[in-house]
Amino acid sequence: MNIHAQPMTCTERMLAGKVAVVTGSTSGIGLGIAHKLAEAGADVVLNGLGDSDQIEQTCSDLAQAHGTRVAFNRANLMIAAEARGLIEQASATFGRVDILVNNAGIQHVSPVESFPEEKWDAILALNLSAAFHATKAAFGPMKQAGWGRIVNIASAHGLVASPFKSAYVAAKHGIAGLTKTVALEGAEHGITCNAICPGYVWTPLVENQIDDTARARGITRDQVIRDVLLAAQPNKRFVTVEELGALAVFLCSPAGQGITGTALPVDGGWTAH
């Protein structure tokens, strides 16, 4: 792992001294959460796919912006051993893992009768099983330390369904169940585990599914945005990665210690329907 370190510049940093691993943090929500955790003082291990030079730049920007240590691990989380290895290597690099954000995820949109089996397997492997493997690896040391924070990025689709997203909805409902179980097992050991359930957030994942949804429903891109994506979101605005990062920091802060086993919607009212 390459480590980028800068001197601390901020004074109010409630996660100073903590080490956070954020899966799937080379873009989108994961990167937004990594920024907020680093801003709150945590050292951060980034993970994900992408161009090496760009990732190197992201790590250095993050370290420079927030004055924390930043490392990167390219683990392919569809492989159980690599998910475990991410936690082991983060512990070896920074001494321990206090905060685990299971965020990496992919999507595929297709009617169930033609849903490709390999897409089902890939979505379940990354969106659900990877969170289990990383949690399993991080949980024992958190228990020994008597403190840990696990934040799973589920989705409004962890609470309700939409057509053509069978694998995604199944995986996200699965994450909500895993969250409750881990919360119960960690409750007497200072470990909290919660799921954040975003509605639509403007990231590459959303951009990439617009064309597929348009094809599956036989409508235009603009219609997908207005009538499908934001149709369900009563406040008619996309959630931002900064809002999700701020919630993750709150859950990891002292004020969040009584919150565990929850699935918190950040969806502009979508699941209130």
Tell me how far apart the alpha carbons of residues 103 and 128 are, in angstroms, rounded to a whole number: 10
Phi/psi region, residue 138 (left: phi>0; alpha: psi -120 to 50; beta: rest), is alpha
Mark 198-237 with x for binding to ligand NAD (rule: CB under 6 A) and - for no binding: x-xx-xxxx-------------------------------
Mark 67-96 with x for binding to ligand NAD (rule: CB under 6 A) and - for no binding: ---------xxx------------------
Catalytic, out of 120, 168, 200, 270: 168
Q: What is the helix (H) or strand (E) element at residue 114, kind and residue range?
A: none
- Torsion angles phi and psi, residue 47, rounded to 5: -150, 150
Greatest alpha-carbon span in the chain: 56
SS3 at position 255: helix
Kindly tell me which of 8 and 49 has the beta carbon lying closer to ligand NAD.
Answer: 49
The DSSP 8-state label assigned to residue 85 in this structure reads H
**Least distance from C-beta 52 to ligand NAD, angstroms?**
12
Kindly tell me which of 103 and 260 has the beta carbon lying closer to ligand NAD.
Answer: 103
- Exactly one of 85, 105, 265, 268 binds ligand NAD (CB under 6 A); that residue is 105
Please choose, from the candidates 67, 58, 60, 74, the residue with its C-alpha nearest in 3D space to the C-alpha of residue 15: 67
> Is 200 an annotated catalytic residue?
no
Kindly tell me which of 45 and 153 has the beta carbon lying closer to ligand NAD.
Answer: 153
**Tokens representing residue 90 in the block:** 């983060």
- Residues interacting with ligand NAD, by CB under 6 A? 24-30, 47-50, 76-78, 103-106, 126-127, 153, 155, 198, 200-201, 203-206
